[in-house]
Amino acid sequence: MKLFEAVDDVLKGKEKASFDMVSLDNIINDLDYMGFEVDKEIETNGWQVDFWLMCSKDGVDYMVSGSLYYGNFIFSKYQ
C-alpha cells in the first residue's frame, strides 16, 4: 500500500494503516502536499532506527511510525 492510500484509510476511520517503505524525506513532502502540518523533528532510537513523525490536519494529530531497519511503516491517528 502507498502512503496516500494509508492516509486515506485512516481519514475514513480506520485505526491505522501500513504502507510501503519510502524515504522519510518523501513522507514529509507527501504529507505536506496533502495539507498536513508536519513536525520535521523526527524522533529515533538505537540501531533499528525506530522512528516517530508527528503531523496534524484540521486540528487532529496523526503519527507516522516504523523501523528503517525492518521497513515497516504505519500511519495512524495519534491518541
User: Domain segments of the chain: what residues?
Assistant: 3-77
Nearest C-alpha neighbor of 39 from the set 52, 50, 23: 52
pLDDT of residue 56: 98
pTM: 0.91
Q: Where are the beta strands (DSSP E) in 1-79?
A: 16-19, 37-38, 43-45, 50-57, 60-67, 73-77
Nearest C-alpha neighbor of 3 from the set 77, 61, 75: 75
Mean pLDDT by 10 residues, the chain (79 residues): 96 97 94 96 86 96 94 94
Write the burial class of residue 12 (CB in 10 Å: 0-12 exposed, 13-18 middle, 19+ buried): exposed
pLDDT of residue 60: 97
pLDDT of residue 75: 98
pLDDT of residue 47: 79
